[in-house]
A = this chain, B = another copy of it.
Amino acid sequence: MADWVHMTEGVRRRILNDGEKLMLVQVEFAAAGNAVPAHHHVNEQISYVTMGKMRFTVDGREVIVSAGESLHVPANVVHDATALEPSTVLDMFSPPRDDFRPKA
């Protein structure tokens, strides 16, 4: 399993599984307010909250996602993520996030 990578204050990620068409990444938010700012990528994404509660904004629309719930982010759509409490999220991507892969 890949090492933890720091993303933003209180937010870190690690790759759980990396394949040809699929990548699974675990993202931990240490505290309420920790956030990943608005961004977009060609990779289609589904986010499943395993612990805590998150507020996502997807294409300008706010969505609260609690533990056991999930969210679809189409390719190229601007989105952000803010923890409302300490949270853990599974982010799955297709194609894999090549930019997340460790550099050789």
Contacts and interface: CB of A to CB of B under 8 A. Distances in A.
Interface of A: 16-22, 24, 44-46, 48, 50, 68, 70-72, 74-75, 90, 92-95
Contact of A92 (B22, B68, B71, B95): B22
Say what secondary structure dominates the interface of chain A.
strand
Nearest to A68: B50
Question: Taking the full assembly, how many copies of this chain does it contain?
Answer: 2
Contact of A44 (B16, B19, B50, B71): B19
Nearest to A96: B94
B19 A72 contact: yes
A92 B46 CA distance: 9
Contacts of A68: 50
A44 B24 CA distance: 12
Given A17-B71, A24-B48, 12 more contacts: A17-B46, A19-B46, A19-B72, A20-B75, A21-B94, A22-B22, A22-B46, A22-B92, A24-B92, A46-B92, A50-B50, A94-B94
